[in-house]
């Protein structure tokens, strides 16, 4: 019988994979299998290809054994979290969102035609990582769009209508009330920040609505 212990497939905004009970609103993968089928434990790999996607948890009544013989299923609190970790919407199960993301991506680079998924993935993959670690960059807080995830005092915060909401695997907490720095460490990759600035609207966990000011 399979263990009912949480699997190490919950994704934090910095891209790390953690074993916690909470699954969140979305699932996804990193282009294939990064676990051992017999034990359902992660291997030393943290991605299989540059196709990092964010999917719905229910699609056409398909049934899957999580971390079975196929790709490694990952789970996100919400799409804001998935974007921060470097994932984009899936073109199969989230086609409308993927097309909206694609159009915002094209606007952000002034492309004459929408880029193909592989072209976007090539750009995003260069921005996700610094070696094997999460790539983080700095930017003025006032320059960032809603849905961007930043790190302040070691804690991930999501920017929502001028409020900074501390993130956790179970949801967002009350807005940060302490003074915030003018320049912050940004977890969301630069291109995805540009996509958000072009108007892409990510899906938020319901807890964010309780704290929006």
Q: Tally Cβ neighbours within 10 Å of residue 150.
A: 26
At 106, the pLDDT band (50, 70, 90 cuts) reads: very high
What percent of the chain lies above the pLDDT cut of 90? 83
Give CA–CA dist 105/192, Å, rounded. 8
Q: What is the pLDDT of residue 179?
A: 80
Give CA–CA dist 67/37, Å, rounded. 7
Looking up tokens 């967002």, which residue turns up? 172
Per residue in 23-58, pLDDT tens?
Answer: 999 999 999 999 999 999 999 999 999 999 999 998
β-bridge partners, 11: 17
Q: What is the pLDDT of residue 133?
A: 87
Give CA–CA dist 164/175, Å, rounded. 5
Residues 118-131, buried b or exposed e (16+ Cβ, 10 A)?
eebbebbbebbeee
Q: What is the pLDDT of residue 20?
A: 97
Q: What is the pTM of this model?
A: 0.94
Distance of alpha carbon 92 from the chain centroid: 17
End-to-end CA distance of the chain: 47
Taking alpha carbons only, the member of 73, 84, 77 closest to residue 13 is 84
Give CA–CA dist 1/17, Å, rounded. 24
* Tokens coding 103: 């159009």
Going from N- to C-terminal start, the domains of the chain cover 8-89, 95-210
Taking alpha carbons only, the member of 35, 1, 15, 9 closest to residue 156 is 15
φ and ψ of 129, to 5 deg:
-130, 150
């Amino acid at each position: 019988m399979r263990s009912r212990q949480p699997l190490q497939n919950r994704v934090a905004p910095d891209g790390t994979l953690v074993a916690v009970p909470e699954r969140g609103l979305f699932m996804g993968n990193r282009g294939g299998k990064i676990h051992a089928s017999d034990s359902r434990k992660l291997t030393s790999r943290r991605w299989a290809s540059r196709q990092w996607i964010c999917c719905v948890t229910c699609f056409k009544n398909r049934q899957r054994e999580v971390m079975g013989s196929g790709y490694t299923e990952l789970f996100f609190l919400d799409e804001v979290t998935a974007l921060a970790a470097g994932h984009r919407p899936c073109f199969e199960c989230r086609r409308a969102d993927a097309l909206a993301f694609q159009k915002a991506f094209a606007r952000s680079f002034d492309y004459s035609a929408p880029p193909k998924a592989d072209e976007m993935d090539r750009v995003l993959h260069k921005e996700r990582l610094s070696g094997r670690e999460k790539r983080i960059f700095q930017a003025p807080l006032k320059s960032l769009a809603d849905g961007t995830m930043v790190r302040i005092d070691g804690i991930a915060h999501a920017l929502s209508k001028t409020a900074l909401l501390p993130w956790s695997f179970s949801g967002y907490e009350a807005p940060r009330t302490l003074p915030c720095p003018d320049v912050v460490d940004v977890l969301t990759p630069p291109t995805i920040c540009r996509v958000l600035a072009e108007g892409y609207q990510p899906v938020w966990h319901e807890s964010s609505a309780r704290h929006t000011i």
